[in-house]
Amino acid sequence: MDRQQQFLRGLGLAGALSVLIALPAKSEIAQVTNVRVNQTPSGLEVILETADGKPLQVFSYSYGETFVADVITTQLRLPAGNAFRQDNPAPGISSIQVIPLDTYSVRVIVTGETGVPTAQVSNSKQGLVLSVNPGTETTAQQPAPTRPTKPSQQPSIERPPAPIPTPPSGQQPTLPTIPTSPDTEPETQAPIPRPSPDAGEPDFETPSTPPSGEPGVQIPPLPPTGPDSAQTEAERPVDLIVTATRTAEEVEDVPRSVTVIDREEIQQQATFSRNLPDVLGQSVPGLGQPNQSYRSFGQSLRGRRPLVLIDGVPVSTNLSTAYGTELRSIDPSAIERVEVIRGPSAVYGEGATGGVINIITRSPGEEGITSNIQADLTNSLSHIEDSFGSNLVYGISGRQGNVDFTTSASVVKVGAAFDAEGDRIPLAEVDASDSTTINLLGKVGLDITDEQRLQLTFNHFRDTQEVKYITDPAVDQDEDDEKARALRRNLQFIGVPGPQNLNTVASLDYSNENIFGSRVQAQAYYRQNASGGAFFDNRIFEPESLIDVANSRQETERLGGRLQIDTPFSDVASLLWGVDYVKEDIGQKFELFDTEEFDASGGNVLRKIGERDYVPPYEVNNLGLFAQLQWDISEQFLLSGGLRHERIGLTVDDYLTAEDQPITGGERDFDATVFNAGAVYKATEEISFFTNFAQGFSIPDFGRILRRPPEGFVAVESDLQVTEPIKTNNYELGIRGQWSQVQVSLAGFYNTSELGSTLQEDENGRLEIIRAPQRIYGAEATIDWQPTDNWQFGGTASWTEGESDDDEDGEYLALDSSTIQPVKLTAYIENQTTPGWSNRLQLLFSGDRSAGFEAELDGAPIESYITVDYLSSIQIGRGTLQIGIQNLLNEQYSTVQSQWLGGFLDSLDTAARGRTVTVGYSLSF
């Protein structure tokens, strides 16, 4: 009853505010409920029927062989979807389209066969009537250049042709006219700027996905009117993905489990948290629960480590397998789309034993220049003081001729975090409290010719943090289980920066659509990362150690390139082949602080007095050769398969460990050859089955071994116990169903590794590699349902379990809960309450798990919890107001990661955030 009352109070407060703001918009918006096309002696009539017969205002213009009418303060509310199309409706007319232009506008596009059509616009009791006459033949003109698709190494989704034609090169369209009644003469005026999707409005040129993230059927354009008319295959829109095979494929043709998170959903989830691991943890089946942490530790994908890419550039490093921040490398405002391949893959090389998470940066808009701005304020409702945060984003993009560009800048400031009981959440590992995040994105593209494109992309991400409170170590001395408690500190770092995470990615992409009949794509890239924490007092744990008070700072630098060639053999078969190369330099240092000054200041002053290697500098080189065959045996049966051979080199110089143990360096070489094969069978237009066998591979985190090697380890070449990479065999079977109002998917998987790799402490606390068989299995399901135009429902389910035979005696024991997360269920309900006001409730359930505790790997069982979030979006003017409430019920709980860490030390069991509200406004111009 108390929880119900909390829910009603929280929802009622936000709902009341939303209602007061949103109500005036309803009476201003006309709704087009039907589109009819009637032939006339002189051509045809296009009739946009409205619910109340309200007169509509129109801007019209033409170019090439196209007439365009933009109807403002109007929305499409068609019975069978949100778009209309009819091909060849009358002699001289090739097509008619009626599509949403933005949330409050509708575009009518009439395309002639040999000339530009003309139209008379009038309002009647039925609605808006366009009397269309076919145009006379026009002088042949140079067609608009076809924009080459971008290299798949920079995985920007290749889109189907946009529904809005572009004027031929050098031809300017006639300026729009002021909306008039049929009896007044139109006057020209400047074009109305098209609102951007960043203002909360959908981008109708980007294929959208259902809110669960599973790629679904796009709402199809209507066929020719009439109850018995059938939609043709050519009219069925497509949703393309490049991450699965490195070439553009329709999702329904991919024999893998795929999740696509589009820009609209990313911005929706970013209202609750601008931490990308949390955004994806809510949306991606098979990925671990949101942990409210900057680190991906404790958030696996199908029980294994995923490979993370930004525009095709790997940001995962060999040293990030345990405490990586690879998902914390870019702000959501700079992201266009995220594609996730669930399950092992070798398509992009080493490191994807759990799958691939491909982050695609923002793309430019249409011709002209568009700016967008967003401002948010965030506050904890359980403790208002000290918890204020803000977010400010500005972006500008444009296209002029054969040049396009995109830039954006964001600054996020996060105040203190408080749990549901109003207690301050201390800094235990790495979180967002008292932090500032800056992200800068720049992208410039040049269409050299109709078939060649060059693109330069740069993104810089910077996290910095002030440490005002730390976790109180005294909690660990209490016998009763307690949550982590905040201890007041005001750390002053002298001679060294405080906690930070810096990530820079730059790439240069080139594509040529036709070199001797093949499509060639190349990419050169650079990535740099530097991250460091606050401090640790090693005297508590190892009084005799050479390291007293210190912090660790990791630096990695990666330089690489990709070349791939897509060679078609016929209309139904093609071969993708190429080479990848990458060189990564890795190191980690201890920065040593003055112990006497630290003690005298009460643990507040951290003055750097020296440094020494923690992980010695080492280099990893990867060279990969690959080939992938795609064969469409028939329209119903598709086959694909390929192989990859990878050579990996490790180089380490002679070094001293942090304990002054001398180690002789050297070189080690490893290689692996992996295969994949898959098939798709389309039983009907709506239902398809898929199956695949795929191998992924990875190498251990060498840094964690080299920094503190086991007893008897004196030389890298003779004592490093790695003979070959970790190879994973994955078997998967699934089904997809895509209907006009329902989209579902179900998949089951089983994967094994004969030489799995885990790190285990010996009796002296030193780490050694345990190579033992592992098996991981599970199932995932998604559903999205749109019963009406105004209602959407859906959810996901993820279950994963895994075991390891460390003794190789045939007895498998459960893996720990940092590797295998509990059952995760998500659900949402969304309502378009009025034309300018939408509301969404979403739920996340995290189950309990005791298998790791029973196997004596977890310090305590993992307990279940439920969270509920609420989001309201309101159109105000040309912008959007969003009100988001995270943890609406003010549930007191600890995330899976915190519970797992807290099983060993109570001071690491940090509670999750209590009820938190975010209010933001976004605008495009």
Question: What are the structure tokens assigned to 238, written together?
Answer: 């497509």
265-279, 311-325, 707-721, 868-882: range with lowest mean pLDDT: 311-325
Residue 113: pLDDT above 90? no
Where exactly does CATH 2.40.170.20 map onto the chain? 337-924
Instruction: Report the alpha-carbon distance of residue 923 to residue 355 in Å, rounded.
Output: 36
Half-sphere exposure of 562 (CA within 13 A, CB side): 28
Question: What are the structure tokens assigned to 425, written together?
Answer: 């959440």
Strands 573-593 and 549-568, how do they pair? antiparallel
Tell which wins on pLDDT, 343 or 233. 343
SS3 of 61-121: EEECCEEEEEEECEEECECCECCEEEEEEECCEEEEEEEEEECCEEEEEEEECCCCCEEEE
Quote the pLDDT of residue 673: 93
Residue 133: pLDDT above 90? no
How many CB atoms neighbour CB 559 within 10 A? 14
Residue 199: pLDDT above 50? no
Render pLDDT for 273-288 as a digit per residue (tens, 0 to 9).
Answer: 999 999 999 999 999 9
Identify the band that residue 92 occupies on the pLDDT scale cut at 50, 70 and 90: confident
How many CB atoms neighbour CB 169 within 10 A? 12
CB 849, CB 817: distance < 8 Å: yes
- Tell me the range of 1-5, 668-672, 838-842 where mean pLDDT is highest: 838-842
Q: What percent of the chain has pLDDT over 90?
A: 48
CA 562, chain centre distance (Å): 22
Nearest-10 Cα torsion for 124, 126, 129, 131: -100
Cβ-count burial of 140 within 10 angstroms (0-12 exposed, 13-18 middle, 19+ buried)? Answer: exposed
324-338, 351-365, 719-733: range with lowest mean pLDDT: 719-733
**How do the residues of the chain divide into helix, strand and coil, expressed in percent and rounded to 5?**
10, 50, 40
Q: What is the mean pLDDT of residues 326-348?
A: 92
204-218, 343-357, 401-415, 615-629: range with lowest mean pLDDT: 204-218
Q: What is the mean pLDDT of residues 606-615?
A: 91
Instruction: Report the alpha-carbon distance of residue 738 to residue 741 in Å, rounded.
Output: 8
Q: Which CATH architecture has domain 337-924?
A: Beta Barrel (2.40)
For domain 2-141+164-203, the question of CATH label 2.60.40.10 is answered with no
Instruction: Report the alpha-carbon distance of residue 885 to residue 891 in Å, rounded.
Output: 13
Residue bearing tokens 């951290």: 606
Instruction: Report the alpha-carbon distance of residue 917 to residue 925 in Å, rounded.
Output: 27
Distances (CA, A) of 270 to 246, 306, 328, 506: 28, 22, 13, 24
How many CB atoms neighbour CB 472 within 10 A? 17
Question: What are the structure tokens assigned to 756, written together?
Answer: 């799995």
Question: What are the structure tokens assigned to 373, written together?
Answer: 């701005």
Strands 30-40 and 74-76, how do they pair? parallel
CA 12, chain centre distance (Å): 31
Angle between helices 263-270 and 276-283 (to 10 degrees): 110
Helix count and strand count (H, E) for the chain: 8, 46
Q: What is the mean pLDDT of residues 314-330?
A: 79
Instruction: Report the alpha-carbon distance of residue 359 to residue 339 in Å, rounded.
Output: 7
Nearest-10 Cα torsion for 579, 406, 296, 719: 30
User: Rounded to the nearest 5°, which phi and psi values hold at 896?
Assistant: -60, -45
Bridge partner list, 357:
308, 340
Quote the pLDDT of residue 137: 55
Where exactly does CATH 2.60.40.3500 map onto the chain? 2-141+164-203
Strands 306-310 and 355-361, how do they pair? parallel
